[in-house]
Amino acid sequence: MKTLIKNAAILPMVGTPTADSINAEYFTGCVAWEDDRIVFVEPGQGTQAGMGAEDEFLAQNPDCKVIDGRGKLVMPGLINTHTHVAMTLMRNAMDDVPLMTWLEDNVWPFEAKLGADQIAQGARVGITEMLAGGTTTMVDMYWHEAAIGRVACEMGIRAVLCPSFVDGPRMEEFEHDLTETLAVAASKEAGGRLSVRIAPHSAYSCSAENLRRAVELAKQHGIGIHTHVSETIDEQRIIRERHGCTPTEYLCDLGLFDIPTIAAHCIHVTDRDIEILREHGVTAVHNPQSNMKLASGAAPVAKMLQRGVNVALGTDGAASNNDLDMFDEMRTASLLAKFTGSGLIDGGDSTVLPAYEVLKMATVHGARAIGMEGQLGVLAPGALADIVMLDITGPHYFPGNNLVSALVYSAKSSDVCGVWVAGTERRRRL
C-alpha cells in the first residue's frame, strides 16, 4: 500500500531546533510511505526539491492513495512508555485515597479476581482510547500479557509487552505468561509490531532472588527489563531499611541495569541515582498525572535531562490517571516541571521543559527507550510509518503563532483525525 499526504504542516521531530528558530521545527509539505516504511518527507508549495519528489512519487505510483492535508498537522505517532492498559477496568472506581490504601484495599484485591478474558476486555478499551488519541506504541506492564498481546495484534497497535510479577504464587504464573507472550510476539499475526520485556514490579515487592531470576530470564531470551523505581518516599524508606541503599542503587547492584531497562517514575532519586541511570543507559519514564493524583511527588525531570538521562513519557494506568491521553500528559509534564523548578535552583522555573523537549519525550525518547531510535518517533525516510494527523483548524489553535507550542499547550487528543501504524490506517475521520 502506497500513501501520500500533501499540503500538510509536517513535524518530523528530526534535528535540534534552537531557541531563535521559531517555527523551524515544522514546514508545509508532504510525507509518503510504502507498506510499513516512510519513503520521503519533503517541503512543498513551490520548493523545487519537495515538489519534484512529490511529482515523481505520484508519476511512479498512479494508484497511490492521496490525502489532502490542508488544515492538518502530521507528526510521528506518540509512544506511551509506561502504562497498565487493562486498568481501564478500574477507571474512576478508586479515587481520592492514599497510595497504600489505593493499592492494598482496592487495586490488589480487584486484580486478584481478574482472569485473562477480563484483562483482554480492559486492554481492548485502553487500546481503542490510545489509538483514537494518537498513541501508536504502548509499553505495557501487567499480568496475562499474552492476552493483551492478542488484542494488540487484532487492533494493530505497536506494543512492548511486559509480563509482570510480585513475590508469591504469581511467580509460576509469570513464567508461563512470559513463554506465551514471547510466542504471541513472534507470531505471524503480530507482524513484527510486538516485542517483550520482563517486568518485576518493584524493588520492594520482589525478593532479591526473584529479581536475579528476572535478570537471568532477560539474558536468556535477549530482552530488556521494565520496572517501577523510586515511586514513593515509603519505597525509599523500605529499601534503605532492608538493604542500606536507595532502590536505584539496589537494583543496579543486582545487575538489572546491565540489561536495557525502562524505569517508571524515578521520583525520589538522589544525584548518585541519576548518575547511575545515566551511566547504565536506563530510561526514566515520567508519569506526571498519576504521580500528582496519588501524591507521590514530582520527578526531577529537568535535572535528569540536563545530566544526560533519557526521560520518556507515560500515562501509567487509567486507575490512577484516569485516562490514557498523551497530549494531556505532555501539557501536564511541562507545567509541573515549571511549577516545581529545575531541581538546580530554588522555586519555580518557567524556562524548563519547553514544548519541543516535551514532544521529544513523547516520541524520540520513547523510541530510544525501546531500542528503536530512528525507526519510531520521527518522520524520516526509512523510518517506520507510525504516523498521526491532527486537525488544526479548531479555535484553540488560533491564530497559529507556533504549532509546536500549540501541540503541547493547546492541542487535544480529540483533534487526532488520522492514525497509521506500520503504514496501516487504524483511525481516520474527516
Which segment of 38-47, 55-64, 99-108 scores lowest on mean pLDDT? 38-47
Please report, for residues 86, 159, 280, the alpha-carbon distance to residue 116 in angstroms, rounded to integers and kept in the order given. 10, 18, 35
Q: Do domains 2-76+378-428 and 78-369 have the same CATH topology?
A: no
The pLDDT tens digits for 326-371 are 999 999 999 999 998 755 555 688 999 999 999 999 999 999 999 9
Task: Look at residue 332 in the predicted model and tell me its pLDDT.
Answer: 97
Instruction: Tell me how far apart the alpha carbons of residues 139 and 190 are, in angstroms, rounded to a whole number.
Output: 15
Confidence of residue 170 (pLDDT cuts 50, 70, 90): confident
Nearest to 419 by CA among 37, 26, 157: 157
Beta-carbon-side half-sphere exposure of residue 74 (alpha carbons within 13 Å): 30
Task: Look at residue 171 in the predicted model and tell me its pLDDT.
Answer: 78
Please report, for residues 111, 119, 198, 267, the alpha-carbon distance to residue 114 in angstroms, rounded to integers and kept in the order given. 5, 7, 20, 29
Kindly indicate whether the domain formed by 2-76+378-428 is annotated with CATH number 1.20.210.10. Answer: no
Instruction: Tell me how far apart the alpha carbons of residues 375 and 293 are, in angstroms, rounded to a whole number.
Output: 34
Cell of 287: 508519569
Nearest to 167 by CA among 121, 211, 109: 211
Instruction: Tell me how far apart the alpha carbons of residues 425 and 77 are, in angstroms, rounded to a whole number.
Output: 12
Residues 6+ away with beta carbon under 8 Å from 66 = 3, 4, 6, 58
Instruction: Tell me how far apart the alpha carbons of residues 139 and 342 are, in angstroms, rounded to a whole number.
Output: 27
Please report, for residues 131, 142, 224, 407, the alpha-carbon distance to residue 413 in angstroms, rounded to integers and kept in the order given. 10, 25, 30, 10
The pLDDT tens digits for 412-424 are 999 999 999 999 9
Query: Radius of gyration over alpha carbons of the chain, in Å?
Result: 21
Which segment of 165-169, 176-180, 238-242, 369-373 scores lowest on mean pLDDT? 165-169
Determine which helix (DSSP H) or strand (DSSP E) holds 302, and give its type and residue range. Answer: helix 301-306
Superfamily grouping for domain 78-369: Metal-dependent hydrolases (3.20.20.140)
Nearest to 157 by CA among 199, 197, 124, 184: 124
Task: Look at residue 49 in the predicted model and tell me its pLDDT.
Answer: 45
Task: Look at residue 119 in the predicted model and tell me its pLDDT.
Answer: 97
* Domains of the chain by residue range: 2-76+378-428, 78-369
Residues 6+ away with beta carbon under 8 Å from 364 = 13, 373, 377, 378
**Mean pLDDT across the chain, nearest whole number?**
92
The pLDDT tens digits for 134-157 are 999 999 999 999 999 999 999 999
Instruction: Tell me how far apart the alpha carbons of residues 199 and 162 are, in angstroms, rounded to a whole number.
Output: 5
Please report, for residues 10, 113, 273, 364, the alpha-carbon distance to residue 14 in angstroms, rounded to integers and kept in the order given. 11, 46, 30, 9
Whether the per-residue pLDDT at 18 is higher than 90: the answer is no
Q: What is the mean predicted confidence (pLDDT) over 248-264?
A: 98
pTM over cut 0.75: yes
Cell of 285: 519514564
Q: How far is CA 330 from the centre of its chain?
A: 11
